[in-house]
Amino acid sequence: FGTLRSTVVHNAGQMQFSGGNAQVHGSVNNLAGAAIVVSGGGVGSFYGNVQAQAGSEIRVSAGSAAVFFGNVSQASGAAFNGTGSFHFEGGLSVGNSPGLGGAQGDVLFGSGNLYRAEIGGLAGGTGYDRFVVGGALGFGGALQLSLLDGFEPAAGQRFDLFDWALRSGQFARIDFSAATLADGLRWDTSRLYSDGSVGVTAVPEPGAWALMAGGLLALHLRLRRAAVARLCRPLA
């Protein structure tokens, strides 16, 4: 453990951290076949960007933690293993535009984290980004959705962005600016914290809103007249 300072570290072997606090100041490119291992109750803090290539591994053992303050890119086929904790405080994106990511242990999205989810089709892990957590997932920071390759979601479609064993917290902000839908549609996030999905639903036509409002007004007047009638009923 200790401090490593470098512009870029191209890891083709193993970076091992154990028994204390280790700090890496600089970007890390974790190549295929390489591993970053945090074990023995240690904490590994990465202050630069981390790119995990397909076939690479970041392993955080039980009682240990890896903290990422820069942007993390987890390619499909890059394994985040171990039952320790992964803390993302800068930014996280998964897959190969889009793809499948996740971690075997616990994951915490810090208040400064930006999770970027790309949607370009209907199949999770290939058509849109999907993030699967084997332990507890703590939401925080911001979620940014973006549409790819001219994909236009339709009403009734749903995208399972997250899966977890346990969940806590919520995103402070959800950014839809790069995921504009066609007229008459809106994003539905009502199930985001129950099953990890977002969906697309149709916006009721103005006429439907008017009918609904009229029905509610009529019900209100009916209930009011009934209440007045009860008050005015002569005593026996």
Residue 6 CA from chain centroid, whole number = 30
The pLDDT value given to residue 228: 52
Please name the helix (run of DSSP H) or strand (run of DSSP E) that holds residue 210, with its range, or none.
helix 206-232
Beta-carbon contacts of residue 230 (< 8 Å; ≥ 6 apart): none
For 192-211, how does the pLDDT look when each residue is reduced to its tens digit (9 = 90+)?
Answer: 999 999 999 999 876 544 45
Q: Region 222-235: what's the mean pLDDT?
A: 60
pLDDT tens digit sequence for 56-71 = 999 999 999 999 999 9
> Which pLDDT band holds residue 1 (cuts at 50, 70, 90)?
confident
Strand, helix or coil for residue 220: helix
Per-residue pLDDT of 90-133, as tens digits, reads 999 998 889 999 999 999 999 999 999 999 999 999 999 999 99
Q: How confident is the model at residue 220 (pLDDT cuts 50, 70, 90)?
A: low
Count CB-CB contacts under 10 A for residue 80: 25
**Averaged confidence pLDDT in the chain:** 91
